[in-house]
Amino acid sequence: MKYLILFSLVFSQAWPLVDNELQDTALINARYNGGSEEGYYFTNLETGDIVKFIKAEAGVMQEFDLNSKEWVGEEFELEYTLDYTDMPAMQNMADREDVRYQKEVLTIIRLETLDSEDED
């Protein structure tokens, strides 16, 4: 029984480390459109899609203050994580059951300005 409790404690402490390693990451080239209370908006240069990022890591915000207008229109190589957060249960009135869903959370983990190669 002692070993089971010890294993449970060790596993529960190590689980966040395992979970962080399994986060999906992606890399895009994007133009910064600006921010709002809801997030930071970029246009994917390859697809033309507008992508909303809910969060940006502290290091990114220290280097690029996305809350200012200074970076609007700038093109970046942008690396981000995709995570999911559980949303509160909502009752489906037709079925009278609780319906749970998850919301995508995109977090900017790295920004690097794209330099025009034609300038050299």
pLDDT tens-digit map of 83-120: 988 877 665 556 656 666 778 899 999 999 998 554 44
pLDDT (0 to 100) of residue 115: 81
Q: Which CATH number fits domain 23-115: 2.40.50.500, 3.30.9.10, 2.40.160.40, 3.30.300.30?
A: 2.40.50.500
The whole-number pLDDT of residue 27 equals: 96
Cβ atoms within 10 Å, residue 97 = 11
Domain boundaries, the chain: 23-115
pTM of the model: 0.69
